[in-house]
Structure 1
Amino acid sequence: MVHRMVHGFYARIREDEVLGPIFNGAIEDRWDRHLANMVDFWSSVVLMTGRYSGRPMAAHLILDARRGEQGMPRLDQPHFDRWLELFRATAAEVCPPQAAALFVNRAEKIAQSFVHGIRFNRGEMPDWLGPVKSEPA
């Protein structure tokens, strides 16, 4: 099921008008390796197999920085919203309801973490944090 989920999801991603160019540009001709890596990732996330040992945040931070340097839109909430939309559709199609709910729950947490991490890396403060209030030393 993890294999079907990952391959079905990334098939949608590759064809998507918003995310396809981002993913295809970053992955280029390494899709086989990326898909195998993502199967390991989701196997670890959902089944706790420990098969994945990469650093996904670092890869997304690099991608975001490169996009900024090239004058392209940086990764942000709308990209992850679309990612989640495609992920939810794939989970509903591929998985029984309880498994789909587990996949989606984890994906939502990952997307939120990536958005916060990317913004933090840029030096942006989260809206919910508010202004820093401190007294001079």
Structure 2
Amino acid sequence: MNQSLFPTPNPSLYTEEEIAKLVHTFYAKARKDPGLGPIFEEHVIDWDAHFVQMTNFWSAQLRGTSRFRGAPMPKHIALPELTAELFERWLKLFRQTTEELGNPNLQHHADAVASFIATRLWQGYQINNYPDKQPIALHIV
């Protein structure tokens, strides 16, 4: 994997508190979003557990911790009627959140990881749900 696109986790650049704040701030925005909010509200049963899972996920990505246990791809593939626009909206809100947090290292790393993840999830979603169609790329700005 190209390290310039997917930075190596670095526990000295981001604290657990910053990661928790990223997760909570982002989901506060996503839950209010007219496109994303209803999807999250329909599929996230226990928000406290989701926050723990997502904090563990982002801690693994950004700090190299090993607390995350899960398989994001099957869960996303199972969601009905996802679109490129929804993934792009997710990325836009995520990037707004990282910018607001005021740690440029966190912003750069988390945004790179988020772009990679959104692209992979969207590709996997299309391959699984629309195997006879040509995949549509995300417009990542």
Q: TM-score range by the shorter chain?
A: 0.7 to 0.9
Structure 2 equivalent of residue 121 of structure 1: 128
Looking at structure 1, the residues matched to 60 and 39 of structure 2 have their Cα atoms a distance apart, in angstroms, of 25
The 3-state SS of whatever aligns with 1:51 is coil
Match of 2:26 among 1, 9, 15: 9
C-alpha displacement of 1:127: 5.9
Looking at structure 2, the residues matched to 111 and 31 of structure 1 have their Cα atoms a distance apart, in angstroms, of 21
C-alpha displacement of 1:47: 1.2
> Which residues of 2 match residues 1-137 of structure 1 at below 5 A?
1-28=18-45, 30-63=46-79, 67=80, 74-122=81-129, 123=131, 124-126=133-135
* Count of matched residue pairs: 118
TM-score, structure 2 normalization: 0.79
What is the CA deviation profile of residues 3-34 of structure 1, one whole-angstrom value per residue up to 9, with x for unaligned ones? 00000000001111110000001114x10100
The 3-state SS of whatever aligns with 2:78 is helix
CA RMSD of aligned residues (A): 1.4
Unaligned runs of 5+ in 1: 68-73, 129-137
Identity %: 36
Looking at structure 2, the residues matched to 10 and 95 of structure 1 have their Cα atoms a distance apart, in angstroms, of 18
Greater fraction of residues in helix: 1
Equivalent pair of 1:5/1:95 in contact (CA under 8 Å): no
Unaligned runs of 5+ in 2: 1-17
The 3-state SS of whatever aligns with 1:18 is coil
Structure possessing the higher radius of gyration over alpha carbons: 1
Looking at structure 2, the residues matched to 113 and 95 of structure 1 have their Cα atoms a distance apart, in angstroms, of 27
In structure 2, relative to structure 1, the CA distance for the partners of 1:92 and 1:127 (3 Å cut) is closer
